[in-house]
Amino acid sequence: MSLPDLFPSSRLAMLVSRMPGRMKRHRQEAVAFLDALVREHKESRVADDGKEDLLDVLLRI
């Protein structure tokens, strides 16, 4: 439980809490991980043999 969980409408609780900073840091780490995953997939893509995996389909969309 964090302070904003107990008082969700309180702006003061959000300012005092460290939760927004942690959420931002975790989001940046997740975005960096996904970017690295996509970059690695594009680099390791060998000759086009007609087989696509889920990441290929998502990148095509």
Note the pLDDT tens digit of each residue in 6-61.
888 888 888 888 777 888 899 999 999 999 999 988 888 766 677 888 888 888 89
Output the pLDDT for position 18: 79
Output the pLDDT for position 29: 97
Pairwise pLDDT comparison (61 vs 5), residue with the higher score:
61
Token pair of 13 as six digits: 């609780």
Phi and psi at residue 26, in whole multiples of 5°? -65, -40
Q: Judge whether 15 and 25 are in contact, CB under 8 Å.
A: no
Would you kindly state where each structural domain of the chain is located, as residue ranges?
A: 3-60
Q: Judge whether 57 and 41 are in contact, CB under 8 Å.
A: no
Q: pTM of whole model > 0.85?
A: no
| Identity of the amino acid at 35 | D
